[in-house]
Amino acid sequence: MTIIGARPQIIKAAALNRAIRTKFSDKLMEVIVHTGQHYDHNMSDVFFEEMEIPQPNHQLGIGSETHGKQTGKMLKEIERVLELEKPDALVIYGDTNSTLAGALAAAKMHVPVIHIEAGLRSFNKRMPEEVNRITADHASTLLFSPTKSGLRNLEKEGFLSLSEAQKIGNADIDNPYVFHCGDLMYDNTLFFSNKADEYESFFSKHGIDKKNFILSTIHRPQNSDDIQVLSGILSALNEISLEDSIEIVLPLHPRTANMIALSNDDGIQKISRNPLFKVIEPIGFLEMILLEKHAKLVMTDSGGVQKEAFFMQKSCVILRPETEWIEIVESGCAVLVGANPTNIREGYEFFKQNKSLDFPAMFGDGTAAEFICESIIEHLN
């Protein structure tokens, strides 16, 4: 049984579901449960349509709430579905409230938990995701880390790799162990890259100059919930756009859109007077891949988007003070600037002047989903 709820989880689930359907259907059967954490068409349905994910077997319809209420309602409903479906294992992705609820519900019912995207750490517990991912990892049985740094984090927290577990005779299902598996988002990027080209009319539809734009996304609570912080980020992007006559394309997450709609802050008003600043609704994954392919640069606080920028060999200004994807920063292909407008501008200038970057392969070979399926079959049988 797979738990999804938020946009990036639906996208990741597409890769595993595709592998199960096309290569492992004789050995694995998947029941998909959508918590309803994301529910707007462009935050959920669009991915099922574009990425050919089967409709969820269970839609829990939880919707938006405070953390406690949302996670509590999910916990209760996931427990009910676990009782009904009696799965052999539960798959959870990433670090959202849907991840946490799935991990807790299953672990308490002694259903093995398979955590995909395990081991990532920002070391900032003010992020709701950090609390979710640490708790989910420690409730899990099979932990799949996309990166080597994720693997090291888990080892520091006492988890064993499979080979170590085998050495001490502990490699059975009652003892958790960790795998380094590559990145499902990389699988998806490779798989959909050519198909994304069929969406070229997106540029003319939105009046975007495909040779001259920066792609940006903003949705972290620390950037979007404080109007002054958000205004500072948008003002910095606006100045970059005006000074260099470059378009900013900002597909806006509803959390941030709600803040902007409520505000009459001057920094925010200014972007609506700049014809080069294109604020658009959230978009589908294929349109997103298309934008990432053509963007001159990416400026984002999204975990997924900073990685996809790297996959597309684009430099990235990360609008956060830290990242779980430290390999990207260490490679020199991204810089951490937080929300400070001066730092944002310096980050942009840095990449404007540094044109030759090296993007080493470090997210697998596009077959993470197959590796995960094979490992599940081998270790849960």
Asked if residue 380 lies in contact with residue 88, where contact means CB atoms within 8 angstroms, the answer is yes
Is the CB of 8 or the CB of 267 nearer to ligand UD1?
Answer: 8
Asked if residue 13 lies in contact with residue 4, where contact means CB atoms within 8 angstroms, the answer is yes
Asked if residue 341 lies in contact with residue 235, where contact means CB atoms within 8 angstroms, the answer is yes
- Which residues pair with residue 278 across a beta bridge? 249
Q: Name the segment binding ligand UD1 (CB under 6 A); options: 2-10, 15-23, 208-216, 352-360.
A: 2-10
Closest separation in Å from C-beta 312 to ligand UD1: 20
> Is 294 one of the catalytic residues?
no
Selected from 40, 49, 226, 365, the binder of ligand UD1 by CB under 6 A is 40
For 91-155, give the DSSP string. EEETTSHHHHHHHHHHHHTTPPEEEETTT---S-TTSHHHHHHHHHHHT-SEEEESSHHHHHHHH
Asked if residue 76 lies in contact with residue 68, where contact means CB atoms within 8 angstroms, the answer is no
Is the CB of 281 or the CB of 346 nearer to ligand UD1?
Answer: 281
- Residues of this chain, 116-175, that bind ligand UD1 according to CB under 6 A: 128-129
Active-site residue among 219, 253, 294, 379?
A: 219
Per DSSP, 252 falls in state P
**Distance of alpha carbon 121 from alpha carbon 170, whole angstroms:** 26
Closest separation in Å from C-beta 50 to ligand UDP: 9
Per DSSP, 90 falls in state E
Q: Say which residue the tokens 């990389």 belong to.
A: 186
Kindly list the distances between the CA atom of residue 120 and the CA atoms of 21, 136, 261, 314, 352, in Å, as whole numbers in the listed order: 28, 11, 33, 22, 30
Selected from 155, 170, 193, 254, the binder of ligand UD1 by CB under 6 A is 254
| 3-state secondary structure at position 34 | strand
Selected from 255, 270, 296, 352, the binder of ligand UD1 by CB under 6 A is 255
Per DSSP, 198 falls in state G
- Residues of this chain, 189-228, that bind ligand UD1 according to CB under 6 A: 219
Q: Name the segment binding ligand UD1 (CB under 6 A); options: 91-99, 109-117, 239-247, 288-296.
A: 91-99
Choose from ligand UDP, ligand UD1, none: what does 53 bind? Cβ within 5-8 Å by kind.
none
Selected from 23, 28, 39, 152, the binder of ligand UD1 by CB under 6 A is 39
By the rule CB under 6 A, 6 interacts with ligand UD1: yes
Closest separation in Å from C-beta 185 to ligand UDP: 6
Q: What are 52's two structure tokens?
A: 């050919």
> For binding to ligand UD1 (CB under 6 A), which residues are involved?
6-8, 37-40, 43, 64, 95-97, 128-129, 219, 253-255, 258
| Residues recognised as catalytic | 219
